[in-house]
Amino acid sequence: MTMKLNLNIDPKALGKVAVLMGGDSSEREVSLTMSGPGVLAALLQGGVEAQAFNPAERGLHELKAEGFQRCFIALHGRHGEDGTVQGALELLGIPYTGSGVMASSIAMDKIMTKRLWLADGLATPRYMKLKKEHISRERCMAIPDELGLPIFVKPPHEGSTIGISKVMGYSQMLDAVQLAAQYDDEILCEEFIDGPELTCPILGEGDSAFALPVMQIEAEGGNYDYQNKYFTNTTRYLTGALTDSLEAEVRALVLAAYKSLGCRGWGRGDVMLRKSDNKPFLLEMNTSPGMTSHSLVPMSAKAAGISYEQLCLWLLSQARLDGKA
């Protein structure tokens, strides 16, 4: 696996680097206290001239004024992985890690992502959407009739399970929709796929992109929520849990999903595996995955023989602008 990556990187050739962390999204604390500091420490350890930079406290124009030559985006959520920061860096002419403006914007919108995947024939759970201004008890009660129960209700532009509810009965629908509406103008109601939750990171771009080992997530009580993602040690992350053929199928599906959205650099596809027939269904693509001690991409990379520091250096080495190699 590591043979596909050139890990012989000269840190001095990467120039002065800003690690973007914090921001103003609902996920800023994870970025500011976990992902960002982890990446910064790894880059400094690797000999990179790197500094922390919080866009919530400083204008992005200061990046150019202070001579930063690359940015490692360790921001999560809105104004971090939704194409807005990427667009600003394009205008500033400062190469950055991860996907470009369009892919970042699409991947941040779970509904638009589903539309593209369905157009490309990729399996994703059935869904319905609601507009915030059209919420009514009658509309909410009609959704389980179409999708069945349970249902997941989500704000489609948020991550880290923020604002998500698992609805078990009709009486919970309205509350779940109103919770999601606190975070978004649209609400995604998604068919529940009963089975294990999987995740698969992708590195690279185009024909050179490849999948890292699939990880199966086993959270306490089957609830992989915000707390279990970042702050508990009871969640289990398993590699090698699938048969070789199923592992290959999931990797191929996530790789196709990554390419469908036009992603580059890195990403992480989340998948549900229907236990009745072992069919995988795509949930979402994360274009700025977490880099915390509990994060899935570093764990999967480690299983492939790639250390955290090597991963950070390689990702930084791939920083670029749209339309430029």
Question: pLDDT > 70: what percent of the chain?
Answer: 93
Average confidence (pLDDT) over 42-69: 97
CB–CB of 275/216 below 8 Å? no
Q: What are phi and psi of 298, to 5 degrees?
A: -60, -35
Average pLDDT over the chain, rounded to an integer: 92
pLDDT of 222: 58
In this model, does residue 178 exceed pLDDT 90?
yes
In this model, does residue 250 exceed pLDDT 90?
yes
**What is the distance in angstroms between the CA of the first residue and the CA of the last residue of the chain?**
23
Which residue is it, tokens 């202070």? 66
Enumerate the active-site residues.
27, 160, 230, 268, 270, 284, 286, 290
| Domains, the chain, ordered by start | 2-98 (3.40.50.20), 106-123+194-315 (3.30.470.20), 127-191 (3.30.1490.20)
Report CA 15 to chain centroid distance, whole Å: 27
Q: Using 50, 70 and 90 to split pLDDT, how confident is the model at 158? A: confident
pTM of this structure: 0.92
pLDDT of 233: 66
In this model, does residue 260 exceed pLDDT 60?
yes
What sign results for the dihedral spanned by CA atoms 204, 27, 20, 312? negative
In this model, does residue 240 exceed pLDDT 80?
yes
CA geometry: angle at 179 spanning 175 and 185, to 5°?
120
pLDDT of 223: 54
pLDDT tens digits, one per residue of 263-315: 999 999 999 999 999 999 999 999 999 998 778 999 999 999 999 999 999 99
Question: pLDDT > 90: what percent of the chain?
Answer: 83
pLDDT of 294: 75
Annotate the chain with three-state secondary structure. Answer: CHHHCCCCCCHHHHCEEEEECCCCCCCHHHHHHHHHHHHHHHHHHCCCEEEEECCCCCCCHHHHHCCCCEEEECCCCCCCCCCHHHHHHHHHCCCECCCCHHHHHHHHCHHHHHHHHHHCCCCCCCEEEEEHHHCCHHHHHHHHHHHCCCEEEECCCCCCCCCCEEECCHHHHHHHHHHHHCCCCEEEEEECCCCCEEEEEEECCHHHCEECCCEEEECHHHCCCHHHHHCCCCCEEEECCCCHHHHHHHHHHHHHHHHHHCCCCEEEEEEEEECCCCEEEEEEEECCCCCCCCCHHHHHHHHCCCCHHHHHHHHHHCCECCCCC
Q: Using 50, 70 and 90 to split pLDDT, how confident is the model at 147? A: very high
